[in-house]
Amino acid sequence: MPRTALRRRRLGVAVLTALTLGAAAAAPAAQAQDEEPTDLITNGDFASGTSGWWTTANLTGAVADGEWCVDVPGGTANAWDAIVGQDGLPLVTGESYELRFTARASSAVSVRALVQRPVDPWPTAVEEFPVLSSEAQDFSYAFTASADWTDAQLAFQIGRHAEPWQFCLSEVQLLTGAEPPVYEPDTGPRVRVNQVGYLPDGPKRATLVTDAAGAVPWQLHDAEGTLVAQGESSPHGAEPTSGESVHVIDFSSAAATGEGFTLTADGETSYPFAIGGNPYRDLAVDAMSFYYPQRSGIAIDDAIAPGYGREAGHVDIAPNQGDGAVPCYADACDYTLDVTGGWYDAGDHGKYVVNGGISVAQLMSVYERALHAPTGDAGLLGDGTLRIPEHGDGVPDVLDEARWEMEFLLSMQVPAGEELAGMAHHKIHDENWTGLPLMPADDPQPRYLQPPSTAATLNLAAAAAQAARLFAPYDAAFAAECREAAETAWAAALAHPDVYAPDTSPAGGGPYGDSDVTDEFYWAATELYLTTGAKTYEEHLLASKLHDADSFGPGAFHWGSVAALAKLDLALVPNALPGRDEIVAQVVAGADNYLELQAASPWGLSYGSNGTFDWGSNSAVLNELVVVATAFDLTGEAQYRDGVLTGLDYILGRNALGNSYVTGYGSHDSRNMHSRWYANQLDPSLPNPPAGTLAGGPNSVTGTWDPVAQRWLTGCAPQRCYIDDIGSWATNELTINWNAPLAQIANFAAEQAGSVTATPSCEVEYRINGQWPGGFNAQILVTNTGDTPLQDVSLEWALPTGQSIVHSWSVALVQEGHTVTATDVAGGLELKPGRTFTFGFIGSKDARTAVAPASVTCSAA
């Protein structure tokens, strides 16, 4: 199956210079579980001074009254830049241990406490981040060893703080014979609901965890406790992805609206939720506004993103070594590039073209869908709608945000005259991994361009081609720059079709390896065809082995598998591709398969039916919903709309953990995503991720687990392989490509809140009557198909790529960006039943064949 996010991230540990303060005594052997616990620590009460302990050379201190206090310098970048430790601790596979210690600090700080092997790749048995205060506190952490180690190390990593401080330690023990730790997540009430809300005319379902064999009664109460609906559950029985026995509660017929509803069944009452209003509008804005605080190369304004203001990262101001003139790794080239800007990929400081390419494309698709889908509303995406600084420029905010990343992608292109001119460097990141937390402006690592790849080059071509058509009405020069870069990248990829990024990577960045770029060629050809209409791209599409193949498997698409993404655009964006109806049929068939899987799941979940939840599973859930949403846009059939809304329930709390995976949404939400600057779990002075941030989600692929997942999640049912902990990058990272489908689906859901209102009974026919080089003639016929006259009739549509209005007759036409509005339809008079009003215009076009818009919206009084 496709892998949704093949990244390898770990907390790197630098090689340390240690100062031995005393000879280490031999630690006693581990004892059996039924014997008295053995303390593996030597001199943990400091009765013999610091014998058995060591520190890094930058620490000095003294023992008094059984407490060891060391002075820690300020200004270090990483936690491991200052360490107190003890070596030579023997661990036995399967035995459980308890680490105990008492600690305090001269000021409130967090430190990193580890039991690990002191050799690369620094595997850990336990990793904790205690927050210290001026009062001594007792700490205790239990863990089970997963390997035999004769040389384990206890380390208190106490660096990375800006100001000098004092660390005091006492009563340190590592005891054998501990009770094995058991992770019991807070799953909340056994009635699992969408904790945000349901649409009045949409599906309203919940999942009840219960061992009851027969149906049980349920009640729906409003915020005042009034009973508004009731019924009986539908037993499902044992469900393997959750490891639980469940029932389904369907309360879709409930007509009440408001806030604070609860469902009660089997003695349990759900978290509260809303019915009605527009529960997804704020989520749509937040999911897109997530990208502004992810920006590199710009200071984040706290007035725009309250609580998230910070200094600009990687702008050549110390300690940053900056992105203004970045060389190639290992002297692979003799030039440097200014790659300032773009989005930080995830919780680290790297920037990756393949992940950036799909992320910016999906964000731009939020806007492109609004132009072409029948329920799309580009007005919701206009200038001033997001929390970004570019207000007042007349450009839709979502495109302004996309441009920040698009300009970075353009900067990654190999300059003309170089050996691989036109190709794109695969990524740029630090020489070594940095620790948590670390603000972008404080990153001291050297930065390097990694070698170009065909995959990155085609990502650049696809994203730039899409940008070219969407920015054309707003910034013709930037659109032309994007188109030129896209065509240059396409030519470079054809000349170098097999330059692959490896599956391994130098320290400091994830690999994003991909040795099959057939799908990237197909995607790039699609976007270039939709933008230019050129025959060469059409021919590539029609000849591709992917064109007629089923592209809609588990997860639909991701950064390493983009054929389905191409087909969604071919189906939705107006174009004249021969056989386009077959692509539409493929999209609808893919959506039908997802709906079939969803209907069989008591969680309303189309993903994971094979028992595997991959890294970033939440993005796979959402990308499948993007396909279902597109099927609704293409067919107008309500089953697809309802399928999207049902699938969103899982993300927002109707799941085995009773958890909303979006920060700031629901009663029990993810808040401790893996991030170097949204690190409140480690440093209370730092924030949690902003509202609208998606967690990666359950990951049942144990070979990709981090130490936190390995410690707590062994034996988990697939849906339960998740922990809201900042150390669990395998289940709880945030990334730009995971938030992108959340933005798409949240915007779709927000638009559906108003999509079933009464519409005027008018029928519109849009005819293209003639074409010539550079121009065409269009005629629009508006017919009143109802029984009453229509007043103040107006029309709105999005002009397809490359078209604009020259002049019109019998109507007033105004073009703003891509959107055309027609007023004074019927001469400003009422349009009587059965009557047709006709108007027309002359349009300009590029060299392609002019096509009609996907839909025309008619409104009237």
In DSSP terms, which residues pair with 844 in a beta bridge?
A: 775, 804
- DSSP code of residue 527: H
Give the burial string for 490-511 (b: 16+ CB within 10 Å, else e). bebbeebeebebeeebeebbbb
Range 6-12 average pLDDT: 33
Residue 759 is predicted with a pLDDT of: 57
pLDDT, mean over the chain: 93
Do the beta carbons of residue 766 and residue 829 sit within 8 Å? no
Catalytic residues, by residue number, are 348, 674, 724, 733
Q: Return all residues near 10 (Cβ < 8 A) that are at least 6 apart.
A: 121, 433, 706, 729
Asked if pLDDT for residue 313 goes beyond 80, the answer is yes
Residue 505 is predicted with a pLDDT of: 83
Do the beta carbons of residue 721 and residue 243 sit within 8 Å? no
Half-sphere exposure of 277 (CA within 13 A, CB side): 13
Q: Which of 678, 667, 686, 683 is nearest to 734 (CA)?
A: 678
Asked if pLDDT for residue 833 goes beyond 70, the answer is yes
Range 514-521 average pLDDT: 97
Asked if pLDDT for residue 442 goes beyond 70, the answer is yes
d(CA 794, CA 379): 16
Q: Which of 682, 683, 684, 697 is nearest to 731 (CA)?
A: 697
Do the beta carbons of residue 635 and residue 588 sit within 8 Å? yes
* Residue 728 confidence class, pLDDT cut points 50, 70, 90: very high
Question: Which residue intervals of 420-516 are DSSP H helices?
Answer: 454-471, 476-495
- DSSP code of residue 199: -
19-76 residue pLDDT tens: 333 333 333 334 444 578 999 999 999 999 999 999 999 999 999 999 999 999 999 9
CA dihedral 700, 706, 711, 713 (to 10 degrees): -20
- Return the SS3 of 407: helix
Q: Return all residues near 462 (Cβ < 8 A) that are at least 6 apart.
A: 357, 361, 486, 520, 523, 524, 526, 527, 528, 562, 566
Query: What residue type is 611 in one-letter code?
Result: G
Half-sphere exposure of 318 (CA within 13 A, CB side): 2
Tokens for 239?
């469900």
Asked if pLDDT for residue 810 goes beyond 90, the answer is yes
Asked if pLDDT for residue 11 goes beyond 60, the answer is no
Tokens for 660?
């909303």
Range 471-497 average pLDDT: 98
Q: Which residue has the tokens 């040795």?
A: 515
Range from 32-36, 232-236, 619-623, 842-846 carrying the lowest mean pLDDT: 32-36
Phi, psi (rounded to 5 degrees) for 273: -155, 165
Please state the separation of Cα 588 from the chain's center in Å: 25
Asked if pLDDT for residue 255 goes beyond 80, the answer is yes
d(CA 514, CA 456): 10
Do the beta carbons of residue 126 and residue 141 sit within 8 Å? yes
Do the beta carbons of residue 403 and residue 389 sit within 8 Å? no
Asked if pLDDT for residue 278 goes beyond 60, the answer is yes
Q: Which of 538, 337, 534 is nearest to 427 (CA)?
A: 337
Q: Are strands 819-823 and 794-798 parallel, antiparallel or unpaired?
A: antiparallel
Residue 34 is predicted with a pLDDT of: 55
195-242 residue pLDDT tens: 999 999 999 999 999 999 999 999 999 999 999 999 999 999 999 999
Ordered DSSP codes for 658-718: --BSBTTSSSSB----B-SSS-TTT-TTSPPPPTTPBP------GGG--HHHHHH-TT--G
Asked if pLDDT for residue 10 goes beyond 90, the answer is no
Asked if pLDDT for residue 669 goes beyond 60, the answer is yes
Residue 27 is predicted with a pLDDT of: 36
**What is the share, in percent, of the chain residues with pLDDT greater than 70?**
95
Asked if pLDDT for residue 391 goes beyond 90, the answer is yes
Range 541-551 average pLDDT: 98
Q: Return all residues near 399 (Cβ < 8 A) that are at least 6 apart.
A: 364, 367, 470, 471, 474
Residue 6 is predicted with a pLDDT of: 34
645-661 residue pLDDT tens: 999 999 999 999 999 99
d(CA 682, CA 129): 6
Question: Which residue intervals of 544-616 are DSSP H helices?
Answer: 563-572, 580-600
Percent composition of the chain: helix, strand, coil (DSSP 3-state, to 5) = 25, 25, 50
d(CA 482, CA 325): 22
d(CA 861, CA 851): 30
74-122 residue pLDDT tens: 999 889 999 999 999 999 999 999 999 999 999 999 999 999 999 988 8
Q: How many CB atoms lie within 10 A of CB 269?
A: 14
Specify the DSSP element, H or E, that contains 69: strand 67-72
Do the beta carbons of residue 206 and residue 756 sit within 8 Å? no
Query: What residue type is 613 in one-letter code?
Result: F
500-512 residue pLDDT tens: 999 888 899 999 9
If 0-12 CB within 10 Å is exposed, 13-18 middle and 19+ buried, where does residue 255 land? exposed
Asked if pLDDT for residue 775 goes beyond 90, the answer is yes
- Return the SS3 of 287: helix
Do the beta carbons of residue 499 and residue 453 sit within 8 Å? yes
Greatest Cα pair distance, the chain, in angstroms, is 101
d(CA 422, CA 495): 10
- State the pTM of this model: 0.91
Range from 70-74, 546-550, 855-859 carrying the lowest mean pLDDT: 855-859
d(CA 152, CA 742): 42
Residue 846 is predicted with a pLDDT of: 86
Check whether the bond before 319 is cis (ω within 30° of 0): yes
d(CA 227, CA 269): 13
- Return the SS3 of 752: helix
Range 748-776 average pLDDT: 84
Query: What residue type is 276 in one-letter code?
Result: G
Do the beta carbons of residue 854 and residue 572 sit within 8 Å? yes
Query: What residue type is 104 in one-letter code?
Result: R
Q: Are strands 258-265 and 273-275 parallel, antiparallel or unpaired?
A: antiparallel
Residue 703 is predicted with a pLDDT of: 95
Instruction: Tell me the torsion sign for CA atoms 436, 437, 441, 442.
Output: negative
- Return the SS3 of 856: strand
Specify the DSSP element, H or E, that contains 633: helix 617-635
Do the beta carbons of residue 113 and residue 128 sit within 8 Å? yes
- First and final C-alpha spacing in the chain: 51
155-178 residue pLDDT tens: 999 999 889 999 999 999 999 999
